Structure 1
């Protein structure tokens, strides 16, 4: 048994190293000079530089893209929570003959290739004069966050014991109070995962943002991709620094959510 445990830990360590090494290497390259990155022998020890980071942060387009991404993603996730969670609870607790069709429709939105959705949406936003605006991105992203939130939240609400909700009704709660004060707190841990997944999904969205923006509403993934279009000499240090910047907000968001979840359960216990 001891040998099996050692082998199991070794396999996990190998897979963990394979998963984490590209991330660590990208972070290291963000602080290297280009000559250290393209050297034939990989350099683990080097003189760090902040030129790549300061170049990325010093560009107005990067800060504008970061602002657009935060506003569009944050607002659309909020819309997905406000509209998606009550819908998921209604489907889970009050099923009817349309419930299966609604779930299939919500899931089918994710079946479509993004280009099949982006082109019609681009035509719609052009016709109503909202192309290349944050409003267009927020509404489009909200379609994704609502569908993902509903899809992942229905099983979470179905796992809430009915006896707990019935106890709420006995205490005099109405249907809305049971949803807010009983079902949501009990299913909170699973719901946080659904919210985090929807945020990461739209934060990394590239094709939709590319098709629906040209100048004013560019998100950070679009701006980061443009940094590679600088001639034959690829600025690898700048690209790695932009990847690090692109990865930080989702990590911070997940950290805040996990901290909130931990504090909530600590107060409850």
Structure 2
């Protein structure tokens, strides 16, 4: 599979080829969950007949199995449609095979400046005010780690504890197509458990089988920030909880359920 000019190459309606930029840090044949999460979010917004007066307020992903690097098929369907809200489901998997990742999105009707805006939360240092932070060591040259620029304002990938990281895509989600702000947030949100890992990567695994992203404001700009904190119980169940930001301020939250165990 070639590197290409994006995380995915569009083949035809609903079919895509994953490039090497989607490769995660743990398995050479599997994707980091960020790129397929962003692709499913794009599918929800692009589905035939999608209303333009609605936007995603919440999207939950179930990661059934690792998403392979290869030819993939994306499908969508409407589970509920109302005047002010709708629920849309999307799925991705190898062509002709069962889905390996599901998404269920709540879209809410918007009306510009219909209510007063209420904003709360910290104003973080801008990405231009902090240095590029290296990704943790990965055994291959090309992957998600090489396609994303990361700048920590707190912590680091190799430092245990809470972390705050600005992230920017170096390549588009789909080769030859415009990258959207929502793509930038969804491709970064799955990194919360890595940004805020509280135990040594070399001794413990932190596997998330789900991801939920809530957005109260539509993101803007090239940068998304994940301000994450991980909690782990002695039974091996954890939660990576993060506040999401763009350069204007807070935009929402993300959460990942974690399976934590010795390697």
TM-score, scaled to structure 2: 0.22
Of Structure 1 and Structure 2, which has the larger fraction of its residues in strand?
A: 2
Q: Please say which structure displays the higher CA radius of gyration.
A: 1
> Larger relative contact order (C-alpha < 8 A, sep ≥ 6)?
1
Of Structure 1 and Structure 2, which has the larger fraction of its residues in helix?
A: 1
